[in-house]
Structure 1
Amino acid sequence: MNIEKSTIALAGMFQAAELVRQIARQGLFDQGQFETSIQSLLKLEADSVEDVYGEIGGIKTGLQVLCGQLGAGVQREMEVMHYVLGMILLERKLMKSDDLLLNIRAGIESAQAQVEMYTINHPNVIVYLANLYSQTLGTLDFRLKVNGEKRFLENQNNADKIRALLLAGIRSTVLWRQKGGKRLQFIFSRRKILRKAQQLLERIKS
């Protein structure tokens, strides 16, 4: 396992999960970090893990939340962990279906063309990605339940953003697996991951 590469991808997962929590609970979110997460979904070809997210600063939120989840004596955000573990389970099921993988790739390629016409956070793009999630991952026998305030969850724009973010989170999960990520690392490699995430945050500051 390459600890730096897998930690960057893991931060991508935690960022998507944290943004889902923010939208569901508060109806508010960091626009810059949201755009990075969506951009990472559309980056099918990249020179490096870091390149998937543009730059390390783009996943600052993910690194901060990851440190909070793994650090000792810190109040953990269990909803975020619930979403991350759900992404891991969905990714395992997705990788068993060649048809769904092909459909998602074709859908992402179509979304790339839309971004060239509009912008990364244009409602048309977000709605398209949300529908792609529903028509692919949403058909699996496991549904990732999102908790939050009813008034925020019933807002269609919020619901679309949440689905698009979950799709982005799955993309980061695939990347995390490719770099040697495994669930047991949350137990056995916690300190290594925490230390690397802290080092990456320091790199952002400097």
Structure 2
Amino acid sequence: MTDKTSMTSRRSQTIALSAMCQSALMIQHVSKGTILDKDSLMCLFNGVIATDPQSVFDVYSSIETLADGAKLVQHQLSGNATKKDVEVTRYLAGIMSISKKLLKNPSALGGLKEKLDEVQRRLTHFELDDPSIIQNFADCYSEIISPLGQKIQVIGNPALLKQTSVQHKVRALLLSGVRAAVLWRQMGGKRRDFIFNRKTVLQDVISFNQELTSN
């Protein structure tokens, strides 16, 4: 008989992994000038400010907006990755690496929570996708997370990447990716699962995609 706690944990990992991939995919989109889906963006940013959740659904309540990320997980694990997907894979590897370092750094975690609490207070006057809030998220990433590890090189349209607003969105999405990676690790996710438990992870995300498609 399958342990229900284990199943719940695996589902939480799948949702967090989908959010991580959604963030990486949207980094690729914004760096190349593709218009971002607002609902997906809001879901990821809501996840960033959920600093004391009781479950994965307190972080990502609109899981249907993570559908593209879930499809990407399935695509990557099915061995169908293309040259284009190498960019996203690189973003994911960087996000996973730096999230591990963040979890091992209590000082950085404390500083990040303080900054996000400040952002939460500002949300009484601004919308979550207001440029000033996105800049706050970007500052959180630049000042606290980025110094923890090797910088994640973003590839895209050079003219776009020179724009301050685009830089802010990229860093805010990197922050959302790290948040998802932290949650994934807290729910028991490990990078070695992609090697030793690949079939299980793939089956979980296939089931999640089928659920999203049927709703």
TM range (shorter): over 0.9
Q: Does 1:40 align with 2:44?
A: no
Which residue in 2 is equivalent to 1:148? 156
Aligned-residue CA RMSD in angstroms? Answer: 1.6
Q: Secondary structure at 1:136's aligned position in 2?
A: helix
Task: Supply the distance in 2 between the matched residues of 1:145 and 1:75 (Cα, whole angstroms).
Answer: 19
When the two structures are aligned, how many residues end up with a matched partner?
Answer: 206
Q: Does 1:173 align with 2:178?
A: no
Task: Supply the distance in 2 between the matched residues of 1:78 and 1:4 (Cα, whole angstroms).
Answer: 26
8 A Cα contact 2:43 2:62, kept in partner: no
List runs of 5+ in structure 1 lacking aligned partners: none
Which residue in 1 is equivalent to 2:95? 87
TM-score computed with the length of structure 2 as normaliser: 0.90
Task: Supply the distance in 2 between the matched residues of 1:189 and 1:36 (Cα, whole angstroms).
Answer: 28
| Identity level (%) | 28
8 A Cα contact 1:40 1:52, kept in partner: yes
**Offset of 1:138 from its aligned partner?**
2.2
List runs of 5+ in structure 2 lacking aligned partners: 1-5
Q: Does 1:100 align with 2:108?
A: yes
Matches within 5 A, 1:109-120: 109-120=117-128
Task: Supply the distance in 2 between the matched residues of 1:133 and 1:195 (Cα, whole angstroms).
Answer: 33
8 A Cα contact 2:137 2:171, kept in partner: yes
Q: Say which of 143, 153, 167 aligns to 1:159.
A: 167
Which residue in 2 is equivalent to 1:200? 208
Q: Does 1:51 align with 2:40?
A: no
**Offset of 1:27 from its aligned partner?**
4.2
TM-score computed with the length of structure 1 as normaliser: 0.93
Alignment deviations for residues 123-145 of structure 1 (CA, whole Å, 9 cap, x no partner): 11001110111111122242111
Alignment deviations for residues 36-55 of structure 1 (CA, whole Å, 9 cap, x no partner): 11111111122321331113
